[in-house]
Amino acid sequence: MTRKISEHIIEFCIKLSGLLVIIFVFLIFLFLLKDSLSLFGVYPIGQFLFGRNWLPISEPPGFGIIPLLLGSVYVTIGAIVICVPVGIASAMFIADVAPRPLKYILKSLVEILASIPSVVLGFIGIIWLGPFLRNTLHLTTGMCGLTGSLLLAFMALPTIISISEDALVSVPKTYKEAAYGLGATRWQTLWRISLPAACSGIIAAVMLGIGRVIGETMVAMMVTGNAPVVPKSILLPLRTLTATIAGEMGETVGGSEHYFALFAVGLVLFIITFIINFVADSYLRRARK
Amino acid sequence: MNAARVRQKVAFSILAVVTLFVVVPILMTVFYIIRNGVGAVNWEFITQPPRNGMREGGIFPAIVGTIVLVIGTMLFSLPLGVLSAIYLVEYARDNFFTRLIKLSVVNLSGIPSIVYGLFGFTMFVLLLRLGTSIIAGSLTLAIMSLPVIITATKEALETVPASFREISLSLGATKWQTVRHCVLPYAIPGILTGTVLSLSRAAGETAPILFTVAAFYLPRLPRSVFDQVMALPYHLYTISTQVPNIPTELSFATGFVLVALVFVLNLVSIIFRAHFRKKKLW
């Protein structure tokens, strides 16, 4: 009988844990929404979404998200242009070209990169990459969108490489053998057979990489120059959504418009990453079939 | 050599060169941190608190803070993550509730770390009145670590052959007895690997602890779980951006210690994986 009761208790705990995972997501959304609505009560949502001025401590304040959104978009596009081709090409090399020992070494190196904390890369950006870019490209400051894009591209590589490589490796052997049997070279097989067959997984890899770049906070805050203005070029200082929250939260008064505005920025980030991850996940599931 | 072979040679060479563009920066980064950091790390640096506005002395409180946070994170996230994964693999039927959990895990894994910081601040610091404290920071990091632990545990449970469960159930064991004695023991290596990996991420995170636990400068050690602590990633952030005239050796050395700590955790997870793979029983 005691066995029966303990069995019930443990099953209850197991179900509760599953339920808690849902509750956490729901609570995160709810808290962000609640404080965002407090902002929209006093500040029109239209001006928040389409305003071109982020001037939180001016009188009257401006909470237009456009400069921050464009900051994130610029940095993300810059990073994606670099890391998607490089990431997919390295995944192809690791999956189908590299001999076994080299493959193992390369995968370990990518894992090492994945483990380096972002704040360390941000520090390297400040101390080395920023000044280096300023001197070579003759910029007014090295703390700009491009520095952020390069570092974020670097950070997104492990995600893109490991998921793409998984997708390429899990292409059924019979596909490749059929191609070899018809006289195709290894390159023709990789390019014409494996790559299209792994397409879903690679799209998922790219989406998750984009999610990682948009959500990254420390590197964006440390190296992109902290200028909340509509960016004219990726070579100028700008500021992302994430960096705005991290940088300004400490200076706000709890319950002020500014405080609520930062939660509204958080809500925008939540919605963007939710969509990206949802789409990525549906591609991943398609890849597994 | 025919044209197709030549094309293959060219294509493979291009792929190799592009891969070099990934490998060389990784090696350079690691080398750069080690070369500049290792020289400034000495016994005093890792055992003494900072002095003179953090311009001298060591980082002992930050090391302790990070270790405390990692342990706190594990205490919350490991049981919750493992139990949720057990639910998903062993108990759940394919219904709306199960799909909702899976969707939530996907969503949690994508939420930006700074949004966890915001949530932790309103939920744990303000609403539950825990204040900026070790417990609030650990809870925030724990929720962030959940998706990795759940995914790793799920994969580990799924690789245990179905026959193990069938035999146990056919001998009259209950569902939980089966899971506890015939499934879980074989999934432990995978669970540990995933857990340690998620902890190494938690150790390096800055954004979630910004408003929930991290102290700018606190030379003494924490006395209870309701104290603030310094943490290595936040300390590196403050001394490299917030405080002027910090000797760069100190920043490099802090970065080096942080990376070393994270590497040790990763190494532990790799050793677990290798060790248990050798002992695999089926």
Query: How much is the ipTM here?
Result: 0.93
- What string of pLDDT tens digits covers the 289 residues of chain A? 677 888 899 999 999 999 999 999 999 999 999 999 999 999 999 999 999 999 998 888 999 999 999 999 999 999 999 999 999 999 999 999 999 999 999 999 999 999 999 999 999 999 999 999 999 999 989 999 999 999 999 999 999 999 999 999 999 999 999 999 999 999 999 999 999 999 999 999 999 999 999 999 999 999 999 899 999 999 999 999 999 999 999 889 888 999 999 999 999 999 999 999 999 999 998 887 7
Tell whether the torsion through CA atoms of B103, B108, B110 and B112 is positive or negative. positive
Record: contact A22-B101, CB cut-off 8 A: yes
pLDDT at site A38: 94
pLDDT at B273 over 90: no
- Which among A18, A216, A254 is the nearest to B88, CB-wise? A18
- Distances A62 to A257, B89, B233 between C-alpha atoms, Å: 10, 49, 32
For residues A148 and A84, give the distance between their C-alpha atoms in angstroms, rounded to a whole number: 16
Average pLDDT over residues B247-267: 93
CB atoms within 10 A of CB A161: 31
For residues A246 and A265, give the distance between their C-alpha atoms in angstroms, rounded to a whole number: 11
Chain A contact present for B281, CB below 8 A = no
Rg (CA), chain A: 23
pLDDT at B278 over 80: no
The model's confidence at residue B57, banded by pLDDT at 50, 70 and 90, is confident
- Output DSSP code: residue B50: E
Cβ-Cβ contacts under 8 Å for B41 (sequence gap 6 or more): B253, B256, B257
Beta pairing, strands B50-51 & B56-57: antiparallel
Q: What are residue A63's DSSP bridge partners?
A: A54
Which residue in chain A is spatially nearest to B108 when comparing CA positions? A25
Stated as kind and residue range, the H or E segment containing B57 is strand B56-57
Chain B contact present for A245, CB below 8 A = yes
Amino acid, single-letter form, for residue B270: I
Record: contact B29-A217, CB cut-off 8 A: no
Burial class (CB in 10 A: 0-12, 13-18, 19+), B183: buried
Record: contact B146-A21, CB cut-off 8 A: yes
Give B157-175 pLDDT, tens digit per residue: 999 999 999 999 999 999 9
Read off φ and ψ for residue A201, nearest 5 degrees. -65, -40
Residue with tokens 């195709």, as numbered in its chain:
A184
Chain A contact present for B92, CB below 8 A = yes
Read off φ and ψ for residue A170, nearest 5 degrees. -85, 10
Residue A30 sits at the vertex; the CA angle it makes with A28 and A32, to the nearest 5 degrees, is: 70
Residue with tokens 């200028």, as numbered in its chain:
A227
Scanning B38-77 for CB atoms below 8 A from A yields none
pLDDT at site B281: 61
Extended beta strands in chain A, E state: 54-55, 62-63
pLDDT at site B271: 84
CA distance B71 to chain A (A): 18
pLDDT at site B274: 80
- Tokens describing residue A28: 């995160």
Q: Which long-range contacts (CB under 8 A, 24 or more apart) does B158-165 make?
A: B158/B89, B159/B187, B159/B190, B160/B186, B160/B187, B161/B282
Determine which of B5, B22, B175 to mutate to test the interface with A (most A C-beta atoms within 10 Å): B22
Count Cα neighbours of B81 within 13 Å in the Cβ-side half-sphere.
Answer: 34
pLDDT at site B205: 95
- Tokens describing residue A114: 């994945």
Amino acid, single-letter form, for residue A27: L
For residues A65 and A229, give the distance between their C-alpha atoms in angstroms, rounded to a whole number: 10
Chain A contact present for B159, CB below 8 A = no
pLDDT at site A1: 60
Contact B102, B89 (CB under 8 A): no
Which residue in chain B is spatially nearest to A129 when comparing CA positions? B29
pLDDT at site B1: 60
Which of A43, A44, A40, A50 lies closest to A70, judged by CA? Answer: A50
pLDDT at site B254: 95
